[in-house]
């Protein structure tokens, strides 16, 4: 469900080719048309090498298109003079939090991007305190980042992005290196920012259980967008997912097996709770 219709990012006929003209190979991305609306939560799934990271980097002007264009709040990413503005609007979170934390304390780390904007120190301190409060990081502000858990580190990285007051957060498998508790912390944090602050999210993940929180799921394969739709639709298209080496949520996979065994379950189940309820209602009827 698109919450608001205001366009935040628009990619048109987007293509990217890493190879030089001397050794041409198939492009990492081609013919991608994608719109991200303000306040929308979008997840991006696809097999390894399908172009997910390339697409995120193009949305954030870390790469510029080989063909087509990306417009972020009206600014084309080929406009190099305005790249810092795009980085401020679209913050990026990577897989490994250790590569994103640079300072000696959490407080300095959150302030790092703001120092580069040359904001007055009072404003910097105010923003750091605000985001630390919002993300529950106050008790960690004086700690060195390397002492934190993976989930805490990733939340500090998110705080650093949030301090820049972005309109959109792009996340490239942000939970891939975390344990289940850390993963949960990060996902809850991002969902809260989307829901309460209206920040758009583009979230690349290999975990179907994380992808289901999105308004829309986009599927990439071999550099092309092959499907998009609400999570309940995309994750119930097991034929497509399995053909790409992906899987549905646990509930979807289980429901498919149960249907094969003759259980007349409700269509488009997504969550375990829905599966349990559908099974229990069958039992009551029989």
Question: Rule CB under 6 A: which residues touch ligand ADP?
Answer: 18, 28, 46, 48-54
- Binding partner of 49, given ligand ADP, Mg ion, none, CB within 5-8 angstroms per partner class: ligand ADP
Complex with ligand ADP: residue 20 or 120, whichever CB lies closer: 20
Work out how close the CB of 55 gets to Mg ion at its nearest, in angstroms, rounded to a whole number.
Answer: 9
Token pair recorded at residue 217: 């799921």
- Cβ(114)–Cβ(163) under 8 Å? yes
Work out how close the CB of 63 gets to Mg ion at its nearest, in angstroms, rounded to a whole number.
Answer: 13
Complex with Mg ion: residue 214 or 252, whichever CB lies closer: 214
- Binding partner of 166, given Mg ion, ligand ADP, none, CB within 5-8 angstroms per partner class: none
Complex with ligand ADP: residue 107 or 173, whichever CB lies closer: 173
Give the integer Cα–Cα distance in Å for 159 and 132.
Answer: 7
Place of tokens 């309940």: 232
- Binding partner of 54, given Mg ion, ligand ADP, none, CB within 5-8 angstroms per partner class: ligand ADP
- Cβ(37)–Cβ(2) under 8 Å? yes
Complex with ligand ADP: residue 94 or 140, whichever CB lies closer: 94
- Cβ(12)–Cβ(77) under 8 Å? no
**Could you say whether residue 205 binds Mg ion (CB under 5 A)?**
no
Render 48-109 in DSSP notation, one character per residue.
TTSSHHHHHHHHTTSS--SEEEEEETTEETT-GGGHHHHHHHEEEE-S-GGGT--SSSHHHH
Work out how close the CB of 27 gets to ligand ADP at its nearest, in angstroms, rounded to a whole number.
Answer: 8
Render 149-180 in DSSP notation, one character per residue.
-HHHHHHHHHHHHHTT--SEEEEESTTTTS-H
Helices within 205-271 (DSSP H only): 208-211, 231-234, 238-243, 250-260
Work out how close the CB of 32 gets to Mg ion at its nearest, in angstroms, rounded to a whole number.
Answer: 15
Token pair recorded at residue 176: 């891939």
Complex with Mg ion: residue 84 or 245, whichever CB lies closer: 245
- Footprint of Mg ion on residues 83-142 (CB under 5 A)? none
Complex with ligand ADP: residue 49 or 245, whichever CB lies closer: 49
- Cβ(207)–Cβ(47) under 8 Å? no
Work out how close the CB of 62 gets to ligand ADP at its nearest, in angstroms, rounded to a whole number.
Answer: 11
Complex with Mg ion: residue 54 or 77, whichever CB lies closer: 54
* Per-position x/- string for 32-71, each x denoting binding to Mg ion as judged by CB under 5 A, each - no binding: --------------------xx------------------
Give the integer Cα–Cα distance in Å for 134 and 161.
Answer: 13
- Binding partner of 50, given Mg ion, ligand ADP, none, CB within 5-8 angstroms per partner class: ligand ADP
Work out how close the CB of 110 gets to ligand ADP at its nearest, in angstroms, rounded to a whole number.
Answer: 27
Helix (H) or strand (E) holding 36, with range, is: strand 29-37
Token pair recorded at residue 218: 């986009």
Work out how close the CB of 43 gets to Mg ion at its nearest, in angstroms, rounded to a whole number.
Answer: 14
What is the contact surface with Mg ion in residues (CB under 5 A)?
52-53
């Amino acid at each position: 469900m698109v919450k608001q219709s205001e366009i935040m990012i628009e990619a048109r006929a987007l293509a990217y080719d890493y190879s030089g003209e001397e050794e041409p190979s198939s492009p990492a991305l081609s013919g991608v048309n994608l719109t991200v609306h303000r306040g929308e939560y979008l997840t991006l799934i696809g097999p390894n090498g399908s172009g997910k990271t390339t697409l995120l980097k193009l949305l954030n002007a870390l790469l510029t298109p080989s063909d087509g264009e990306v417009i972020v709040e009206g600014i084309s990413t080929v406009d190099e003079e305005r790249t810092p503005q795009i980085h401020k609007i679209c913050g990026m979170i990577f897989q490994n939090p250790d590569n994103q934390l640079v300072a000696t304390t959490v407080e300095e780390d959150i302030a790092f991007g703001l120092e580069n904007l040359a904001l007055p120190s009072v404003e910097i301190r105010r923003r750091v305190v605000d985001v630390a409060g919002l993300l529950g990081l106050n008790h960690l502000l004086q700690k060195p980042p390397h002492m934190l858990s993976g989930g805490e580190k990733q939340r500090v990285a998110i705080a650093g992005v949030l301090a820049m007051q972005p309109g959109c957060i792009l996340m490239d498998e942000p939970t891939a290196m975390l344990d289940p508790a850390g993963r949960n912390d990060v996902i809850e944090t991002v969902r809260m920012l989307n829901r309460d602050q209206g920040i758009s999210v583009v979230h690349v993940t290999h975990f179907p259980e994380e992808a289901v929180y999105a308004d829309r799921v986009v599927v990439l394969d071999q550099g092309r967008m092959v499907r998009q739709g609400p999570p309940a639709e995309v994750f119930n298209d097991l034929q497509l997912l399995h053909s790409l080496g992906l899987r549905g949520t646990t509930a979807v996979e289980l429901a498919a097996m149960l249907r094969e065994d003759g259980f007349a379950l409700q269509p488009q189940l997504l969550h375990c709770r829905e599966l349990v309820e559908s099974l229990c209602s069958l039992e009551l009827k029989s």
